[in-house]
Amino acid sequence: MMPKPITLSIFDIFKIGPGPSSSHTIGPMLAAADFVDRLGKFGLKGGVAPDALEVSLYGSLASTGKGHGTHRAILGGLLGWRPETCDCDALLVLFPSDSESYEISVAGSIVDFSVRNIHFVSGDADAPYQNTLDFKLFAKGELLVSERYFSIGGGFIKRDGDSDPSPIDVPYKYSNMREFRKITRKTGLSLSEIMMENELAVSGMSVSEVENGLDDLLAAMTNSVDNGLKADGLLPGPIGLLRKARYLFESAGNCEHAAERALARLNAYALAASEENAAGRRIVTAPTSGASGVLPGLAYMFRSEFGVPDGRARSGLLAAALIGFVAKSNASIAGAEVGCQGEVGVASSMAAAFAATANGCDVRCLENAAEIALEHHLGLTCDPIDGYVQVPCIERNAVGAVTAFNAYILASAGDPVRQKITFDEVLEAMLETGVDMSRNYKETARGGLAVCCVCC
């Protein structure tokens, strides 16, 4: 059976929204909003007025949901908020206490909702995806509606029972990097041309709308770095982690050697965006919130220090999207499925592809850069201490950005055709590694640094 062609949108892999976790924050907010929207659209039979709403969370949503702010994201979604437009400051102050109650409009009725209506359920949900959400609406104790959603990483969600969408007829069909390379050889088109034509078919946008959207993404990435470089103080939560991006950036000028100064600044840029994510501020999934410092940090350096113009930065973003598409379609970008190799590892490969393309490298070179970056993240576990996207997540973003830059240097300095491992092959290895990885090392905070280090 032939694999399905990739028909993802650039604006699926890159989402603007609140931190700290795309699977725990953006996904649940979208699921809650969809639940309310569907009831508003289709209503309830018999005109019954609901009086209670219960939400049950499973998998890592249950084990680390409080640390990730999943309860606030669900409430935001039930209130009709959307990740790309919600007020991050307002989101952070929802549920100041377990006794705080909010009025939710559901199917034409007002229902009181508090933290006590959200159940963090231990054990499996007997579902195809670990991060599962159940929404149940009641009237006088009788179940009226029950819907199940899955948060599958990167802010992507699925509703149980939904059939696969009708296939989109894109002009250039590929399911992996090998097939994408074949298209470039056969047509003579550039990566940007192929990606743009497919995006127009998938999203229905015009070229100018796509370019404006790419500029909005780059601006949001820049803002996350700028805001992180200005911020100071402790990050939220019991760990008591002090922001250090601003300090590192300011102290970079004291470094004796130019190379050391540049490396310190790159680390600072990646830390800045990642710290903003940990603080629940607005970021861009690249491909996830937990890895939202890697590509934005590297892109910030290339644009602000290396003078990469907007057109080349857009092309770099298209290359990064391609790598993200192939990774999601052939392996995973979800920490709950394959560990942090699927988040920071894929983010590093996307950033390496951005660097190569922004500097004028061809498709084979950018693929090699992406492969090198991901290869050296294989086996990376997802083990957040106390369930917060802080330790070791923030520093991993900085290390991932540096690895991406180095992978670009290694790829651009060599003969592309002599590369022994392809990106498709390293993805296969990542998926196999993720399948074999213990669940304790997949977002659950039950293994690795999460249990070997006491920070609280």
CATH number, domain containing residue 23: 3.30.1330.90
With a pLDDT cut of 70, the percent of the chain lying above it is 99
Q: Do the domain assignments include residue 2?
A: no
Contact yes or no for 185/237 (Cβ under 8 A): no
Contact yes or no for 333/287 (Cβ under 8 A): yes
Which two three-digit tokens encode residue 379?
A: 């086996």
For residue 43, name the pLDDT band (cuts at 50, 70, 90). Answer: confident
pLDDT at residue 50, as a whole number: 93
Judge if 57 and 139 occupy the same domain.
yes
Provide the mean pLDDT of the chain.
95
pLDDT above 60 (res 110): yes
pLDDT above 90 (res 299): yes
Distant-in-sequence, close-in-space partners of 432: CB < 8 Å, separation ≥ 6: none
Range of the domain at 25: 19-159
CA dist 407 and 368 (Å) reads 8
Q: Do the domain assignments include residue 10?
A: no
Which two three-digit tokens encode residue 145?
A: 């509606």
pLDDT at residue 323, as a whole number: 98
Q: Do the domain assignments include residue 104?
A: yes
Q: Do the domain assignments include residue 14?
A: no
Judge if 258 and 181 occupy the same domain.
yes
For residue 44, name the pLDDT band (cuts at 50, 70, 90). Answer: confident
Which two three-digit tokens encode residue 423?
A: 């990106």
Of 111, 130, 159, which marks where a domain is finished?
159
Say which DSSP state 221 is in. Answer: H
Looking only at the bridges linking them, the beta strands covering 16-18 and 282-284 are antiparallel
Q: Name the least confident of 90-99, 147-156, 163-172.
A: 163-172
Judge if 337 and 287 occupy the same domain.
yes
For residue 42, name the pLDDT band (cuts at 50, 70, 90). Answer: confident
For residue 163, name the pLDDT band (cuts at 50, 70, 90). Answer: confident
For residue 127, name the pLDDT band (cuts at 50, 70, 90). Answer: confident
Judge if 208 and 137 occupy the same domain.
no
Say which DSSP state 120 is in. Answer: E
CA dist 456 and 441 (Å) reads 20
Q: Do the domain assignments include residue 1?
A: no
For residue 125, name the pLDDT band (cuts at 50, 70, 90). Answer: confident
Q: Do the domain assignments include residue 248?
A: yes
Judge if 256 and 361 occupy the same domain.
yes
Q: Which helix (H) or strand (E) holds 102?
A: strand 101-106
Number of domain units in the chain: 2
pLDDT digits (tens, 9 = 90+) for 193-214: 999 999 999 999 999 999 999 9
State the average pLDDT over residues 314-337. 97
Judge if 135 and 275 occupy the same domain.
no
Strand partners, 148: 134
